[in-house]
Amino acid sequence: MADVVTGLPFEVVQELELSRPKQRLDVAIIRLTETQVSEHRWPELPDGLTDLADHNLVSYKSIRESLTCGAMWELVSHAVIYGKQHWKKAWEAGVADRLKLRLIAVTTHHPAWLMPDADAAQGRRTDTNGVYELGFLQLVLRVIVPSEIAKTPRNALWHLLSGDRELVRYGMEHYQARDAGLYNILNDLRQSYAMEGVEVPYTKEDYKREVARELFLKAPPADRREWLDQLPAEERLGRLSPDERLSGLSPEQIEAYLDKLHRQAGRAGGKSEAS
């Protein structure tokens, strides 16, 4: 080949080293040993992850990124490098075996090039909404679009990554964390969304308070008055507007609360003079 291009504006380099730049895969999900697997209780996994292989290579594109054709080529190149590391000379068989290796791309935005109605050679939808599979030579590449995944508690992981405010809220409420430290990560996720203009609550308590407030405001006046009447006098007087504070309270309740405030003020004044 060097001889063929002699005199042309090309250079031929033999045994070109391709691994100098660091190649980092976003996520690898690797099966444990059979002993460890048998001792583990399997939870209900999200759509698209129910049939995990021994080695699952995952590429993730957030709300700021797009899953381009180039990104898919990069995922395939990761598969080749990974296969050569784990299966040596038998890497081709390992990469082509869906029980051994699975390639998964998770993307917040639906790729413009992914046509759900195209033929199987270009892209096809599986039986699960938001999960697509592409055929590439002997490989099958799975594309997961979180915003299109069914809204159920088992899919809370995908809802957290959907970029949709309502779905993210749903994910925050329904995701069952197995690691107590995950809430720090969820807070980082919430802040990242806030930077993109997607405001979502952080904790389940935040979510519950917001839902309770919305329900209260939408409730008929009679129902709201009934709920307010069930609150202790101190709580009603401390949280409501002046008119709402007194509405429905008996004179005795109002006088008792005022007496309490006077006693508290007197004690505070006495301590100040003693100082």
What mean pLDDT do residues 150-163 have?
Answer: 91
126-130, 151-155, 220-224, 270-274: range with lowest mean pLDDT: 270-274
Write down the pTM of the prediction: 0.66
Structure tokens at 261: 């405030």
- What's residue 237's pLDDT? 55
What mean pLDDT do residues 185-202 have?
Answer: 73
Q: Is the dihedral of CA 17, 22, 25, 27 positive or negative?
A: positive
The residue among 268 and 217 whose pLDDT is bigger is 217
pLDDT tens, residue by residue, 84-114: 888 888 988 888 888 889 999 999 999 988 8
What mean pLDDT do residues 57-71 have?
Answer: 90
Distances (CA, A) of 95 to 32, 76, 132, 177, 179: 19, 10, 19, 32, 32
| Distance in angstroms (rounded) separating the CA atoms of residues 162 and 157 | 9
136-140, 232-236, 254-258: range with lowest mean pLDDT: 232-236
Q: What are phi and psi of 112, to 5 degrees?
A: -65, -30
pLDDT tens, residue by residue, 72-81: 999 999 999 8
The residue among 65 and 247 whose pLDDT is bigger is 65
Distances (CA, A) of 161 to 25, 46, 74, 168, 255: 18, 12, 22, 7, 53
H helices of 42-135, in order, are 69-87, 91-96
Q: Give the H or E element holding residue 234.
A: helix 233-239
pLDDT, averaged across the chain: 78
- What's residue 41's pLDDT? 63
The percentage of the chain sitting over the pLDDT mark of 70, rounded to a whole number, equals 73
On the CB side of 117, CA atoms within 13 Å amount to 0
Q: Output 93-96 pairs: Cβ under 8 A, ≥24 positions apart.
A: 95/138, 95/139, 96/138, 96/139
- Complete DSSP assignment for 102-123: EEEEEESSPPTT--TTS-TTT-
Are the beta carbons of 144 and 158 closer than 8 angstroms? yes
The residue among 254 and 242 whose pLDDT is bigger is 254
Q: What are phi and psi of 57, to 5 degrees?
A: -100, 125
The percentage of the chain sitting over the pLDDT mark of 90, rounded to a whole number, equals 19
Helices (H) and strands (E) in the chain, counts: 11, 6
CA R_g for the chain: 30
Distances (CA, A) of 14 to 2, 11, 18, 84: 9, 10, 12, 20
Q: At CA 73, angle to CA 68 and CA 74, rounded to 5?
A: 95
